[in-house]
């Protein structure tokens, strides 16, 4: 019983709202990864009307305002992008479904658009592309970003021996074409990275990104997304994961330094396996509601000066897996994600992001 009481004492602060008077920072990033209708392949051109019928909730939470301020089209195959492959599903290295028309569908409503390179399925492809010509991959990514007017997300999920030298070359080459833009005005200059939900996976990538690319004094990447874990977390589990990034891991050898709260988002599922999550349909019962106090007021612990994470990302719009649920009607997410955008007064378009 004593152990249980001690455990409850540790968890109770995580389950309660922030204390009265605690600083709360408005959310700035509130977005969704988007997998298209073919489980993240984006292999075919979509008719705009058909696309809208499956995705209207993203641009209209029920009152004409978008539900999100950023959409990340997922995924681009790293080797195909490097080699500028054209095949049945790819045109000049980019999935055929990631068209200017799809970008405009969101951008014309003030929603920022990004393309994600990688994902867990393309880990080996990242390794191949970085080994073959990391700098050229970075230049090709920058060219696509500029041509489509989108940002780029790095989703390199190599947990064992990642090619950090190659990844540095990719980033250097991208930034040589599109320098860091703190204002966010240059959409193509937005370059982000996905890290693990907490600090105990993708350790080498997390250490490198935190130490060198996500600093507040010499920023290289705009921010990181702490990815969803293997399954939807509890309230305390979500908070514990995100707190690991803020605290770092000083006991690791070498240690992971702390990450400024202003340099990352937390992520939650809206469609998971065969289940549409409450996070999609019911804001009042959702994790983006119950964790909101933490996300808006989490204090820096060795990096950064302002409280609060940048915001939330949701996995994933439309069809994230071939046999799982979709967020297409009748499962659309106005009542969860959209209602959260209203509750948190999410700015659309996304403003210049906090830098510290």
Q: What domains sit in the chain, N to C, each tagged with a CATH number? A: 25-343 (3.20.20.80)
pTM as predicted: 0.93
Name residue 265's beta-bridge partners: 225
Can you state the angle between helices 235-247 and 2-15, rounded to 10 degrees?
Answer: 80
Q: What is the pLDDT along the chain (356 residues), one digit of tens a residue?
A: 333 333 333 333 344 444 344 579 999 999 999 999 999 999 999 999 999 999 999 999 999 999 999 999 999 999 999 999 999 999 999 999 999 999 999 999 999 999 999 999 999 999 999 999 999 999 999 999 999 999 999 999 999 999 999 999 999 999 999 999 999 999 999 999 999 999 999 999 999 999 999 999 999 999 999 999 999 999 999 999 999 999 999 999 999 999 999 999 999 999 988 878 999 999 999 999 999 999 999 999 999 999 999 999 999 999 999 888 999 999 999 999 999 999 999 999 999 999 99
Residue 328 makes CB contacts below 8 A (sequence gap 6+) with 37, 53, 54, 55, 318, 319
- Please tell me what DSSP assigns to residue 301: S
Report the relative pairing of strands 264-269 and 112-118 from DSSP bridges. unpaired
Helix, strand or coil for residue 137?
helix
What Rg do the C-alpha atoms of the chain give, in angstroms? 19
């Amino acid at each position: 019983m004593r152990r249980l009481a001690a455990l409850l004492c540790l968890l109770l602060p995580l389950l309660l709202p922030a204390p009265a008077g605690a600083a709360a920072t408005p959310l700035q990033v509130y977005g969704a990864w988007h997998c298209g209708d073919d489980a993240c392949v984006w292999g075919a051109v979509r008719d705009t009307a058909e696309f809208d019928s499956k995705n209207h909730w993203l641009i209209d939470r029920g009152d004409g305002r978008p539900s999100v301020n950023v959409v990340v089209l997922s995924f681009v195959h790293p080797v195909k992008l490097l080699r500028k492959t054209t095949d049945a599903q790819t045109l000049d290295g980019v999935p055929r479904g990631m068209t200017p028309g799809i970008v405009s569908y969101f951008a014309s409503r003030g929603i920022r658009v990004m393309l994600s390179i990688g994902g867990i399925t393309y880990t080996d492809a990242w390794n191949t592309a970085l080994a073959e010509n990391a700098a050229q991959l970075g230049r090709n990514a920058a060219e696509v970003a500029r041509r489509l007017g989108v940002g780029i997300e790095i989703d390199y999920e190599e947990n064992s021996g990642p090619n950090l030298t190659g990844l540095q070359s990719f980033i250097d080459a991208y930034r040589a074409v599109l320098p860091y833009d703190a204002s966010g005005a240059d959409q193509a200059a937005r370059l982000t990275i996905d890290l693990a939900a907490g600090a105990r996976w993708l350790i080498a990538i997390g250490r490198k990104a935190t130490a060198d690319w996500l600093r507040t004094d010499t920023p290289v990447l705009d921010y990181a997304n702490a990815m969803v874990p293997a399954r939807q977390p509890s309230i305390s589990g979500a908070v514990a994961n995100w707190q690991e990034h803020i605290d770092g891991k000083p006991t690791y050898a070498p240690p992971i330094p702390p990450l400024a709260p202003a340099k990352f988002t937390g992520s939650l599922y809206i469609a998971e396996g065969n289940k549409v999550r409450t996070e999609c349909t019911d804001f009042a019962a959702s994790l983006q509601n119950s964790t909101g106090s933490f996300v808006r007021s989490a204090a820096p612990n060795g990096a950064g000066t302002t409280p609060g994470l940048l915001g939330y990302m949701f996995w994933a719009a439309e069809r994230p897996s071939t046999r799982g649920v979709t967020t297409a009607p009748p499962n659309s997410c106005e009542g969860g994600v959209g209602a959260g955008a209203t509750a948190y007064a999410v700015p659309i378009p996304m403003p210049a992001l906090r830098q510290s």
